């Protein structure tokens, strides 16, 4: 009883030109028989061997006129065939095996190369786009930042009413103005908005729209600390971090549309971006850059920059106590390293006589705290009214306008 | 069992006239209509694990439907996309089908899942393919028209057009031309198939359809 190998046959006489067979290795020939009883014979002397098939491991045997092709993918088949043929087929088989080995090595190298090339392209594309987007952002006119910041400010939900009381806004505007003279980029329009909200936060939108919450003024221990926060936020604007964030989020499409001057799309996207409560979601690298640029601005404006590290000391102490209120802290690097970095920058700066910040700190704080006993006259009430009036009256008005419009439209349609 | 492929080639469907005692296995959801004398039996497409593999890797259904009858009846089977269908009669030989091509077969046909290898993934054909072997008729479909080629030497097929091939066919994925023409001719990668054996090709490709649709969205 000889071993049988499962395989197939190609022959023109078969109804479909092919059939599955069982191959037997007999004394002088291969014999293949189909399930229907057809039999095909190839003597070993005539046998022409070739390796191929899907896996490259299928052995084909053809007769002299190549009219019969037998094949099997059985792993044992080539060895058994060589043995049964008694050395007559060894040369052919060896030649085929070397060829197959070379081919499989070539294809392995090729596929490895292909995978490596794909990875390389992907990685370089990723970094290329990031770098390209950044480069494009920095070359854009500052007027775009201003437009963007204004649109974003309009669209943003305010956490409280705006304070127009000059006793509050004037001293803070004075700090902003002192720093603005030393901004890294020209053409910024630093407009201050003070918002009545217990949130300890401040931010500066692209183009210079600066927002300070009263919670921050209450939390700050000195005018220097307040100036430090303001300088840090202004640095985000002058370093144009907002645009970089947008371009990195939106990727190449945004960069291209900016390049060809189509700003309508990116404005819409930016509005969305800034409203989605991600004003302070700068990267750690951007935060560190803003810290250092803030120190530089403070120093240039002759304001003592030690407010910066002392602010971080304060935050470090209070962070555990008021985690919710301290929004400003949450996305920033850890305080210890920020203290260290800003302090070492301050140490490296040339010595300078610092001019104190001219403001009545206690008066500002009590004004912000809304202490009526400290209110000098009725002007605070007027200021409050005037600050609330625009918002409280604007919103209902605009909504009624809308409903009127639609009802008119409906009427027109109906008639 | 009499079989007839109707409405060729665009919206081909398979009409089977079952004699008493006949049965046929079809891809889930492939039945369009049938006589009330035909019983439908749903079973796992192989074992449970095999079925799961076929479902998630081979693009086939987890379940297949077996239709049988004691008194005879008519059964019409279709495929979900427009295109031709063809019949293949197995006599102990086997054939690989690309994911999703299988439509129906006679009970003597074995369905198995096979690893097609990374080259087929690169070639856009899917990592796994269905292997049909045994004895009996198999019906499978394509998107667009189907042509059959008996290959003795090498043949070049654009990726996404190969529907079925015999195990004796060698398949290599390569570039259509040089690097430049491969990228800019729109041909990209092609499949080089080597005989002996038979291949079935479809005249349209899903990738082509997807790209065309995408361009018009």
Assigned domain for A105 exists: no
pLDDT for the residue numbered A255: 56
Q: Which of A5, A54, A96, A104 to mutate to test the interface with B (most CBs of B within 10 A)?
A: A54
pLDDT for the residue numbered A247: 67
Average pLDDT score, chain A: 78
pLDDT for the residue numbered A374: 43
Do both A78 and A152 map to the same domain? no
Average pLDDT score, chain B: 86
Assigned domain for A227 exists: yes
Do both A175 and A74 map to the same domain? no
Instruction: Return the higher-pLDDT residue of B43 and A277.
Output: B43
Do both A166 and A246 map to the same domain? yes
Assess whether pLDDT exceeds 70 at residue A204: yes
The whole-number average pLDDT for the span A219-225 is 88
Do both A174 and A49 map to the same domain? no
Domain extent, residue A177, equals 141-387
Cα separation, B148 vs B153, in Å, equals 15
Instruction: Return the higher-pLDDT residue of A186 and A233.
Output: A233
pLDDT for the residue numbered B187: 63
Cα separation, A233 vs A142, in Å, equals 17
Do both A95 and A153 map to the same domain? no
Instruction: Return the higher-pLDDT residue of A359 and A391.
Output: A359
For B139-175, what is each residue's pLDDT tens digit?
A: 999 999 999 999 988 999 888 899 999 999 988 877 7
- HSE-CB for B160 with a 13 A CA cutoff: 15
Cα separation, A280 vs A331, in Å, equals 7
pLDDT for the residue numbered B69: 94
Assigned domain for A286 exists: yes
Instruction: Return the higher-pLDDT residue of B26 and A134.
Output: B26
Give yes or no for B23 touching A (CB within 8 A). no
**Domains of chain B from N-terminus onward:** 2-215 (3.60.160.10)
Closest C-alpha among A86, A5, A101, A76 to residue A47: A86
pLDDT for the residue numbered A294: 92
Identify the three-state secondary structure at position A138.
Answer: helix
- With a CB-CB cutoff of 8 Å, which residues 96-125 of chain B face chain A? 96, 118-119, 122
In terms of CA atoms, which chain B residue is nearest residue A52? Answer: B170
pLDDT for the residue numbered A340: 87
**Residues of A with CB below 8 A from B92's CB?**
8, 19-21, 34-35
Give yes or no for B170 touching A (CB within 8 A). yes
ω into residue B9 within 30 of 0, thus cis?
yes
Give yes or no for B91 touching A (CB within 8 A). yes
With a threshold of 0.85, tell me whether the complex ipTM lies above it: no
Assess whether pLDDT exceeds 90 at residue A265: no
Distance from CA of A81 to the nearest CA of B (A): 18
Assigned domain for A406 exists: no
pLDDT for the residue numbered A39: 94
Give yes or no for B94 touching A (CB within 8 A). yes
Assigned domain for A412 exists: no
Do both A86 and A164 map to the same domain? no
Give yes or no for B153 touching A (CB within 8 A). no
pLDDT for the residue numbered A373: 42
With CB atoms and an 8 Å threshold, state whether A53 touches B122: no
pLDDT for the residue numbered A415: 36
Assigned domain for A74 exists: yes
Do both A211 and A71 map to the same domain? no
Q: How many domains does chain A have?
A: 2
For A393-406, what is each residue's pLDDT tens digit?
A: 333 333 333 333 33
Assess whether pLDDT exceeds 80 at residue B82: yes
Do both A300 and A195 map to the same domain? yes
pLDDT for the residue numbered B198: 94
Domain-terminating residue out of A67, A100, A133: A100
Percent of chain B with pLDDT over 70: 86
Cα separation, A90 vs A24, in Å, equals 18
With CB atoms and an 8 Å threshold, state whether B196 touches A60: yes
Distance from CA of A407 to the nearest CA of B (A): 35
Comparing A24-28, A115-119, A378-382, which segment has the lowest mean pLDDT?
A: A378-382
Assigned domain for A30 exists: yes
Which tokens is B35 given? Answer: 């006589």
Do both A83 and A148 map to the same domain? no
CB B79 within 8 A of CB B115: no
Other C-beta atoms lying within 10 Å of the C-beta of residue A31: 17
For B23-72, what is each residue's pLDDT tens digit?
A: 999 988 899 999 999 999 887 777 777 777 767 666 666 678 899 999 99
Assess whether pLDDT exceeds 60 at residue A275: no
A56 vs B170, B196, B197: nearest CB: B170
Distance from CA of B182 to the nearest CA of A (A): 14
A53 vs B150, B168, B198: nearest CB: B168
Do both A161 and A47 map to the same domain? no
Distance from CA of B177 to the nearest CA of A (A): 15
Do both A41 and A187 map to the same domain? no
Assigned domain for A409 exists: no
Other C-beta atoms lying within 10 Å of the C-beta of residue A263: 15
For A118-127, what is each residue's pLDDT tens digit?
A: 889 888 887 8
Do both A289 and A355 map to the same domain? yes
Cα separation, B20 vs A330, in Å, equals 76
Assess whether pLDDT exceeds 60 at residue A256: no
């Amino acid at each position: 009883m000889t071993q049988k190998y499962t395989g197939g046959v190609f022959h023109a006489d078969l109804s479909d030109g092919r059939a599955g067979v069982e191959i037997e290795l007999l004394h002088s020939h291969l014999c293949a028989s189909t399930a229907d009883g057809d039999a095909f014979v190839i003597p070993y002397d005539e046998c022409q061997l070739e390796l191929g098939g899907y896996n490259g491991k299928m052995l084909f045997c053809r007769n002299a006129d190549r009219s019969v092709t037998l094949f099997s993918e059985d792993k044992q088949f080539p060895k058994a065939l060589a043995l049964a043929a008694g050395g007559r087929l060894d040369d052919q088989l060896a030649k085929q095996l070397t060829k197959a080995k070379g081919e499989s090595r070539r294809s392995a190298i090729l596929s490895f190369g292909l995978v490596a090339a794909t990875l390389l392209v992907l990685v370089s594309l990723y970094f290329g786009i990031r770098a390209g987007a950044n480069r494009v952002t920095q070359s854009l006119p500052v007027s775009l930042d201003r437009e963007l910041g204004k649109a974003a400010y309009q669209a943003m939900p305010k956490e409280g009413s705006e304070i127009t009381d000059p006793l509050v806004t004037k001293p803070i505007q004075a700090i902003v103005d002192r720093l603005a003279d030393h901004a890294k980029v020209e053409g910024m329009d630093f407009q201050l908005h003070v918002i009545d909200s217990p949130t300890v936060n401040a931010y500066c939108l692209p183009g210079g729209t600066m927002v300070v919450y009263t919670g921050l003024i209450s939390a700050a221990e000195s005018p220097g600390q307040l100036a430090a926060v303001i300088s840090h936020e202004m640095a985000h604007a002058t370093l144009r971090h907002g645009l970089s964030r947008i371009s990195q989020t939106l990727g190449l499409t945004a960069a291209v549309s900016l390049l060809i001057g189509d700003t309508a799309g990116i404005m819409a996207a930016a509005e969305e971006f800034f409203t989605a409560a991600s004003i302070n979601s700068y990267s750690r690298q951007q935060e560190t850059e803003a810290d250092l640029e803030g120190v530089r601005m403070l120093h240039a404006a002759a304001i003592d920059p030690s407010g910066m590290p002392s602010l971080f000391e304060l935050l470090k102490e209070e962070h555990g106590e008021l985690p919710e209120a301290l929004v400003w802290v949450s996305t920033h690097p850890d305080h210890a390293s920020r203290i260290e970095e800003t302090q070492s920058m301050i140490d490296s700066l040339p010595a300078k006589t610092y001019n104190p910040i001219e403001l009545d700190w206690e008066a500002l704080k009590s004004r912000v705290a809304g202490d009526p006993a400290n209110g000098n006259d009725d002007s605070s009430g007027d200021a409050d009214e005037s600050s609330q009036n625009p918002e409280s009256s604007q919103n209902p008005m605009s909504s009624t306008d809308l409903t009127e419009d639609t009802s008119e439209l409906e009427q027109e349609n109906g008639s | 069992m009499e079989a007839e492929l109707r409405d060729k080639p665009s919206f081909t469907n398979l009409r089977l006239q079952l004699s008493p005692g006949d049965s046929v296995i079809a891809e889930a959801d492939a039945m369009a209509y049938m006589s009330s004398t035909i019983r439908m039996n749903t079973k796992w497409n192989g074992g449970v694990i095999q079925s799961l593999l076929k479902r998630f890797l081979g693009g086939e259904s987890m379940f297949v439907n077996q239709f049988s009858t004691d008194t005879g009846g008519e059964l019409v089977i279709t495929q979900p996309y427009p295109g031709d269908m063809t019949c293949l009669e197995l006599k102990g030989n086997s054939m690989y089908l690309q994911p999703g091509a299988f439509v129906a077969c006679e009970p003597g046909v074995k369905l198995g899942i096979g690893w097609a290898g990374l080259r087929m993934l690169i070639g856009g054909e899917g990592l796994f393919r269905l292997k049909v072997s045994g004895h009996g008729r198999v019906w499978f479909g394509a998107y667009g028209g189907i042509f059959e080629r008996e290959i003795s030497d090498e043949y070049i097929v654009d990726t996404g057009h190969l529907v079925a091939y015999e195990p004796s066919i060698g398949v290599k994925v390569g570039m259509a031309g040089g690097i430049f023409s491969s990228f800019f001719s729109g041909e990209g990668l092609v499949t080089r198939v080597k005989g002996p054996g038979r291949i079935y090709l479809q005249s349209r490709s899903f990738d082509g359809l997807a790209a065309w649709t995408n361009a018009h969205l």
